[in-house]
Amino acid sequence: MSKVALHFDRADRADNKMFLRAITADDVYAALYEISQNVFRPARKHGYNDHVITALLAKSPDEASELIGELERLFFTILADNNVHLEHYE
């Protein structure tokens, strides 16, 4: 088993910022994964539990579905462009 150690100078402002990013990276991944599952997936699978979203989607289902699909595509494109792959999180 190989190990990695990261060292930060907490007194250095830039290093401290990198330290905070490093220790919260898993939280960020969890939040992005939750967005993918709770914002985009319901449109394709089982629908939304939120009555406001359901009512808005009912006004124009075809256009709403297309919009959600485009937003999902954009979301995952931005993640991929930044080398973030949520399938690594599961």
| Residues 63-86 pLDDT 10s | 999 999 999 999 999 999 999 998
Encoded amino acid at 89, one letter: Y
Q: Are 28 and 22 in contact (CB under 8 A)?
A: no
Can you give the residue ranges of every domain in the chain?
13-88
Question: How large is the average pLDDT for residues 84-89?
Answer: 83
Enter the pTM of the model: 0.77
- Give the C-alpha separation, 75 to 79, whole Å: 6
| Residues 22-33 pLDDT 10s | 999 999 999 999
Per-residue pLDDT at 88 exceeds 90:
no
| Residues 37-67 pLDDT 10s | 999 999 888 889 999 999 999 999 889 999 9
